[in-house]
Chains A and B, each alone.
Chain A
Amino acid sequence: MDFHFSEEQDMTADVIRSLLAKLCTPADLRRLMAAGTPRDDVRWQNIVEMGLSGALVPEVAGGLGLDAADFIRVAEACGYAALPEPLVENTAVALPLLAEAASDASELSRAMDGEITVAVGHPANPFVADADTAGAILMPHDGALYLVDPGSATLVAQPSIDPFRRLSSVNFDLEDARLLTNDAQPLLERALDRGAIFAAAQLVGIAQACIDLAVAYAKERNQFGKPIGSYQAVKHQLASAQVKIEFARPVVYAAAVALSQYDDFSRARVSHAKLAAASAADLAARTAIQVHGAMGYSWEVDVHFFLKRAIALENAWGTPAFHRSRVAHRVLTHPLGPEHTFAREQSDA
């Protein structure tokens, strides 16, 4: 028992954090928004050069074969920076799914080389994120999973409140698509868990970004002759939100470690992580707006980028109601008690 990241895991997290601190500042986000382009090519190139694209693809399929726990703080860092590019969904959801369905697909190796990204249409999500920039789209249909060339499909943009989220509805002809498997269900279930846990990690990052923005503002902004951050009414709101973050983060990490069990215990933990992280992000974003006062309601202050991403991710990869019922299933049908905190299904007996 050692609930502690390894030095290697610390290093990976540090690398992405400092890269994004340099290349994904709020000013960079605003520049991208003004340009109206989906991606910042320089930033994306830098991300690709980190060599993480195949991080969660098994080694037999040519990937790095890392665990979810190795990538979880990468996703957290992407949330913290409100990264527009699809590093998390491409690396942590789409490519592992493609590798499970067709480990020899040429699109997989091209994606791992960073030439293209792959998008996922998943029954949990009404629209497909980043389909318009993808080189291939994984689409379920009638219990089967297909690989779709975006050029042969009809994409209709579905603008999101989050200016950096690019959603589309995707229509395709079965003749134009490549059938990967007729039994997509188990693959899609695992993809949902991956989508949910890495969304949860991003939500924790978003929450912390909101608090950090609000703390910085509360130190600078003076009213009644003192920084507003010296008043308890402000301090206590920020402290309450920070408490929520502190008790979401370890759940996210523990769920990442359990992810590959793919049993009722790990699913409940993923769902718990998603719920806790979403509620921390929600409270942190609203608190940050309140602490900024009227500025918090303005376009000029950066908090809204995080608020909007939080709204999107709270309901992506399973709504809170969906995740609550998965938790209930584990609680009401499996043994409870402190000795089962780290349990897996086999050890029930």
Chain B
Amino acid sequence: MDLNFTPQQDAFRKEVRTWMEQNVPSDPLPSFDSSREGFEAHRDWEKVLHKGRWGMVTWPESYGGRGLDLIQWLIFEEEYYRAGAPLRVNQNGIFLLGPTLMEYGTEEQKSRFLTAMASGDEVWAQAWSEPQAGSDLAAVRATATRDGDEYVLNGHKIWSSRAVFADWAFGLFRTDPQSERHKGLSLIFFPLDAQGVKIQPIAQIDGETGFAEIFLDDVRVPAFNRLGDEGQGWRICMATAGFERGLMLRSPARFQVTAQKLVALYLAHQDEVEPSVRDAVMQAWMDAEAYAFSIYQTASRLIAGGSIGAEASTNKIFWSEMDIATHKAALSILGARSELLRSAPGAGDIGRWLDGYFFSLAGPIYAGSNEVQRNIIAERMLGLPRV
């Protein structure tokens, strides 16, 4: 047990910091979910990152990475958020599909997809849920029918993050029409501009179009686009979900920086707010710290050869609830001004707290609802019976 960074780790931090200081755009980019322009601005940023070989530092050099370990990844993330760098438009690709591809993909698939993913040339959306398959994901009905060297995709996907502007999507399809539930599913990639793909943006609670419906009507893709074996889709999908909830999607630095901003907001208004607000602010800071300690612990264990288990679920519950509480604390400091849009003349230092609050409300729902996570914890961690 040694909670000090090595000189090499300190040097790495310095290297990241220097690069970020020189390269992070000084003005925030427009949202990648509200316009093509904002989306492309984020794609350009991904290209800048890739050029500096910062796209995905844990990936092997052959795919545009640096082959670094998870502790270095955490350091990178800390410096990334510290610098206020843009959100990763390709998070579905680099954080979710990428690690899964690395584990289950063939060499040909890896060289075809990973570098283009790391470089931002191909931005990915996910296509898991369907109107009748939400928390009950094993109820998917979309089909992939084998036809020679191709699959013919049909079905209706929904709540597909980034699908409005992205280039590719990965999704769960039933390759065995006789199958039920978790069996007979496969994970298949398809280009979002393929013939027969129709995208219907869905306006979110905040008016942005962060997700969409995808209608697939006889969409033909090569069988090469299937990840893993036919019928292995559920297992691979759960591996992806494990990474998403477990480690990659929400690194601690994101919440620590938010907590830091909350403290700054509190300091600017501490004479106006009631004493109980201080406790909420401190709780937000402590929770972000606790999340960081927990992730460092997990990362250390993974480096030592361990694996990620049901803590993927405890993490997801913890960060999603922390995120809501943190933004709620900010709104309580802003008081009667908290309803103002940033464009309101009287908004002052209101910042993005309201946007963040709305986004935080999605946290307990996406990547597997917190109810599903609690079932997983109860059954796999605590050993409670399923029926």
Given A240-B374, A338-B82, check contact A3 B292 (CB 8 Å).
no
Chain A CB within 8 A of B252 CB: yes
B307 contacts chain A at the CB level, 8 A cutoff: no
With a cutoff of 8 Å between Cβ atoms, the chain B residues found around residue A248 in the complex are 290
In the complex, chain A residues whose CB is within 8 Å of the CB of B318 = 243, 246-247
> Would you call A5 an interface residue if the criterion is a C-beta within 8 Å of the partner chain's C-beta atoms?
yes
Contact B374–A239 (Cβ < 8 Å)? yes
Question: B278 in the interface, Cβ–Cβ < 8 Å?
Answer: yes
Report yes or no: B294 in contact with A246, Cβ–Cβ below 8 A.
yes
Assuming the A-B contacts A219-B383, A247-B287, A338-B292, are A4 and B301 also in contact, with contact meaning beta carbons closer than 8 angstroms in the complex?
yes
Cβ contacts B288-327/A at 8 Å (1 or 0 each) = 0111111011011101100000010010011000000000
CB of A186 within 8 A of chain B? no
What CA separation (Å) do A219 and B297 show in the bound complex?
Answer: 30
Contact B294 A327 (CB under 8 A): no
- Residue of B with least CB distance to A250: B293
B13 partner residues in chain A, CB cutoff 8 A: 339
Whether the pair A339, B79 counts as a contact (CB closer than 8 A) is yes
Contact with B along A244-268 (1 / 0, CB 8 A): 0011101101100110000000000
Q: Are B6 and A230 in contact (CB under 8 A)?
A: no
Closest-CB distance, B12 to chain A (whole angstroms): 11
| Secondary structure type dominating chain B contacts | helix
Q: Which residues of B contact A339 (CB under 8 A)?
A: 13, 78-79, 82
- If A1-B300, A4-B304, A336-B259 touch, whether A246 touches B314 (CB-CB below 8 Å) is yes
Give A287 to B197 CA distance when docked, in angstroms.
49
**Interface 0/1 of B2-15, CB less than 8 Å to A:** 11111001000100
A-side contacts of B285, CB under 8 Å: 327, 331, 336
Interface residues in A, total, Cβ within 8 A? 49
Q: Is B257 an interface residue (CB 8 A)?
A: yes
Is B96 in contact with chain A by the CB < 8 A criterion?
A: no
A219-256 vs B, CB cutoff 8 Å, 1 = contact: the mask equals: 10000001101101011101110110011101101100
Among B6, B82, B373, B377, point to the contact of A1 (Cβ < 8 A).
Answer: B6
Q: Is the CB of B385 within 8 A of A230?
A: yes
Q: How far is the CA of A2 from the CA of B378 in the complex (A)?
A: 29
Nearest CB of B to A243, in Å: 5
Q: Say yes or no: A238-B300 contact (C-beta < 8 A), given A247-B294, A257-B1, A272-B286.
A: no
Residue of B nearest to A256 (CB): B1
Is B107 in contact with chain A by the CB < 8 A criterion? no
Q: Verify B252–A342 contact, CB threshold 8 A.
A: no
Cβ of A290 under 8 Å from chain B: no
Contact of B3 with A251 in the complex, beta carbons under 8 Å? no
Residue B347 at the A interface, CB < 8 A?
no
CB-CB contacts below 8 Å: A323-339 with B: 324, 327-328, 331-332, 336-339
Instruction: Give B200-234 interface residues, CB cut-off 8 Å to A.
Output: none
In the complex, what's the smallest C-beta–C-beta distance from B376 to chain A, in angstroms? 8
Q: How far is the CA of A257 from the CA of B1 in the complex (A)?
A: 8
- Given that A3-B300, A226-B387, A338-B78 are known contacts, is A236 also in contact with B378, CB under 8 Å in the complex? yes
A236→B374 contact, CB < 8 A: yes
B239 within 8 A of A: no
CA distance A215 to B1 in the complex (A): 31
A residues less than 8 Å from B373 (CB atoms): 239
Contact assessment for A2 and B282 in the assembled complex, using a CB-CB cutoff below 8 Å: no
Please indicate the chain B residues that have their CB under 8 angstroms from the CB of A219 in the complex: 383-385
Residue from B1, B5, B279, B304 with most neighbouring chain A CB atoms (10 Å): B1
Bound CA–CA A327/B284 (angstroms): 11
Out of B259, B297, B378, which one reaches A253, CB within 8 Å? B297
Contact with A along B360-387 (1 / 0, CB 8 A): 0000000000010111011101111111
The answer to whether B374 touches A272, judged by C-beta atoms less than 8 angstroms apart, is no
B256 close to A (CB within 8 Å):
yes
CA distance A5 to B2 in the complex (A): 9
| A343 vs B278: C-alpha distance when bound (angstroms) | 23
Contact of B377 with A4 in the complex, beta carbons under 8 Å: no
Minimum distance in angstroms from A337 CB to a CB of chain B? 5
CA distance A174 to B379 in the complex (A): 60
A2 and B297 alpha carbons, distance in the complex (Å): 8
B71 at the interface (CB under 8 A from A): yes
Judged by a CB distance under 8 angstroms, whether B41 is at the interface is no
A328 touches B384 (CB 8 A): no
20 inter-chain pairs at a CB distance below 8 angstroms, sorted by A residue, are A6-B1, A69-B1, A227-B384, A229-B385, A230-B386, A232-B375, A236-B371, A236-B378, A238-B378, A239-B375, A250-B296, A269-B289, A272-B289, A275-B286, A276-B286, A324-B282, A327-B282, A336-B285, A337-B78, A342-B4
Which 3 A-B pairs give the minimum distances between C-beta atoms? A235-B378, A338-B78, A239-B374
Residues on B facing A (Cβ under 8 Å): 1-6, 9, 13, 71, 77-79, 81-82, 252-253, 256-257, 259-260, 263, 267, 278-279, 281-282, 285-287, 289-294, 296-297, 299-301, 303-304, 311, 314, 317-318, 371, 373-375, 377-379, 381-387
Given contacts A3-B296, A337-B257, 19 further A-B pairs with CB under 8 A are A1-B6, A3-B297, A9-B1, A229-B378, A230-B387, A232-B371, A236-B371, A247-B290, A250-B293, A251-B293, A253-B1, A254-B293, A331-B282, A336-B260, A337-B78, A338-B78, A341-B78, A341-B293, A342-B4
Task: Report A's interface with B, CB cutoff 8 A.
Answer: 1-6, 9, 69, 211, 215, 218-219, 226-227, 229-230, 232, 234-236, 238-240, 242-243, 246-248, 250-251, 253-254, 257-258, 269, 272, 275-276, 324, 327-328, 331-332, 336-339, 341-342
